Amino acid sequence: MGDPSVVADLAATFTKRRAIMSWSALGKHVCSQVAPVWPLARSIAVNPWWQRRQETIDQVAISEQTLLGTAMLMPADYYRARWQQQIQPEHLARARQLQGSQLSEAELVEALNAAASGATMPSVAQILDSGKKRNTTLPWQTEIVHQLSQFCALWVNYPEQFNGSDSHDALYLAWLDIVRHDRGIELLVGERRVEEQLQQLPRDSEALWQEVAKDLPLNDPHQVEAWLQVVLHDIYGWASVFAQRRWARQLEHSSQVYDELDQLLAIRVAWELICWRLASDNKRQRFIDAWQQLEPRKQLVTEQQQALWVWQRALELSYQDELATQLVSQPMLKGKSKAPELQAVFCIDVRSEPMRRALEAQHESIQTFGFAGFFGLPVDYKISESFIKPQLPGLLAPQYRVTQAKDAEGVAQRTHSWRAASWHRSLESPAGAYGWVEMSGLAKIWKLLERSLWPSPQARIGSEVVRDQTWLIERDGEAATTKELAQLAANALRGMGLTGEFARHVLIVGHSACVTNNPHAASLDCGACGGQSGEVNARVLVQLFNNEDVRERIASVYGITIPAETVFYPALHDTTQQQVSVLGERSLPAELANYLVQANAQAQDEQRQRLPDQPTSSDKALLRRAASWSEVRPEWGLARNASIIFAPREATANYDFAARTFLHSYDAEQDPEGAVLTQLMTAPMVVAHWINMQYYASMVAPVTFGSGNKLLHNVVADGVGVFEGNGGDLRIGLAKQSLHDGKDWYHEPLRLTVVIAAPTDAIDKVIAEQPVVRELVENGWLYLWQWEPAQQQLQERTAKGWSELGARYDLAV
């Protein structure tokens, strides 16, 4: 058997190595839980807790509050202000039952008066800062975040300045080389031993993890993982940026030499190691004592949140009551007696719902459909050799590339666009803005006067160079075949439910938002188009639908016959001005064009009433608002979104959903195999959930998942994100002005209610086969209802199965 002492030493060595490796592995696991955030020009909404959807939402809420102080529920004051206003006793009573709470109504009301614990689990840097008055120096945590954030901005904006990009430690080594030459850190934190400690750090991240595991007194893997979450939280904005870069590489199946996110955590951990080595014995003991309180702290948070979850459920019930009552108030309408003369396919965006109502109200021969705004086209748009924009959801990778001819007109337009874009980018930084004012002086007065007298929104880069010209559609550098184009067109027609009874005139309506001086402009554009205008997708799809060869193949292969007299038109819905315009050379007949004018006027009136200052009824009021460089609320975007409905339009046509509902056309009778339903529940439903949770998170956790005050934003690294002020971590999520009207919250933090008009067994089949869908439904990230419009029935699906909603809502069943 050998010498027992040697065996014992080998066993101890193996155990030690295993423990050391586990720290690095735990670090990778913590990084894997970070949700991506896209650059400003391609901004799309994301559920910031997306990578933790395998856990129930209340479990995640306990963890976030315990470790980070990040709330997933509103403060008690918010619910108190809505008690016996929006939240009625019957809502609270049902919420108690659904949450399994034993608390009485009086106890729940009293719980709103209890002071919530504000303590969080500390990093070593925080412990080092505690109990010390700093009049002339910065706190460690502040300086660490500032220094690391500035470094990340340099890394993203000037990658060519860094060597070793082929190393798995590229980011870590670049940081180490820079920080070792930064003499200012010692002065800022008031500690002369920093340079010495930086020199002692290993030039290998795995060796760093070994030193951290050896020095820090955290032996429980749960404590280690929790501590890593705490330290990464300091720089969560940049972590989210690197998570998106990782996401993009994985989506493109690109080779991955190094992972920035894992190294970012290693850098932050390196600072923790330095702080530990510089800490006194007393500070070290305080760190140890604090982390021994992890489980008691978690139990306290669990108890505090139980009552708040009842209030949150009651708030959601107050909305769901109205929705359920509306859905069962009348049977589904039969088909219109008159054949459609005009059909319009809109994006499912909640801002399309008022416009669809307005257009349908003009005449009974008008019919609208709802479909994801990229219209099923997995494309990117090549504007120039160096600039390509994705035109599809972030969940998907483009399969085709669309371009337009490089003639003299196109080149001139692009040149003008780049010059204008360079000017605007130069004004986005404080230093650049002052410099340009100093140089241009009086020469810019005319430009400012022109904008005041003749307001015009600022065009997004690339959008203004789109022309009425044939699109080239390529796949892997080769022109797409008629077979491929016909499949794209047929998939789009099936997805939007337009497979028969075509009108003579059909609009394919993309959407965009026109604003000025708004770094977050992309967040108002089409989320289904990757934060871009949907104009390109609309134009390309219309080209396919009007192509005779494509029509012939659609008819012969897919059984969808488009009448020869049917003409498709590209159109664009400007959500800021609530205006639909037909694009291209073809124009609608005068009568139909007039219907569009009247619908625009009706939708604009509703838009004005929804805005906080309720601008005048002038048809230029919304334009002036969109063109104003000082307007912080050009429109409300998708604020107050609360539900998505998959059903035939006849089932929802007579309802006013007040711009709170995503409406996607779906006819279960035309989908016997459930293929379309699977696509809907794995793509549009997930995208709507992301949007819903971005608004939710920006409201309940504004410090972590909101971007703060728009007036203080400065664009970072050529558009990767914004600082609030001139430093600190990168701010992600929505600004407060996108959620708050200046006096009270405009948005309501409600989880998405998904309503599907399909058989329960078809829905269950998707849930069983799609893990993501199952996690969202059964872990409480959204609500799922099954709707029978003809029978006026509703059922809800939870982890426990199906239950009738009729008795719960006291509705007819």
Binding-site annotation: residue ranges for Zn(2+) = 347, 349, 511, 526
Local structure of residue 561 (DSSP, 8 states): P
CA distance 512 to 52: 31
CA distance 659 to 642: 9
User: Is residue 783 a contact partner of residue 753, using CB atoms and an 8 Å limit?
Assistant: yes
Q: Any idea how long the chain is?
A: 813
Cα dihedral 656, 665, 325, 321, rounded to 10, equals: -90
CA distance 37 to 35: 7
CA distance 588 to 569: 8
Contacts for 364 with CB less than 8 Å, ≥ 6 apart: 336, 337, 338
CA distance 656 to 89: 26
Binding residue ranges: 347, 349, 511, 526
CA distance 22 to 12: 15
User: Is residue 601 a contact partner of residue 580, using CB atoms and an 8 Å limit?
Assistant: no
CA angle (32 as vertex; 27, 33 as ends), nearest 5: 105
Strand partners, 357: none
CA distance 408 to 52: 51
Name the 3-class secondary structure at 188: helix
Q: What are phi and psi of 247, to 5 degrees?
A: -55, -45
Compute how many other C-beta atoms are within 10 angstroms of the C-beta atom of residue 64: 22
CA distance 41 to 71: 29
CA distance 466 to 769: 41
| Structure token pair of residue 199 | 């020199």
CA distance 66 to 291: 11
Name the 3-class secondary structure at 641: coil
Tokens 């039952």 correspond to: 97
Local structure of residue 528 (DSSP, 8 states): G
Name the 3-class secondary structure at 473: strand
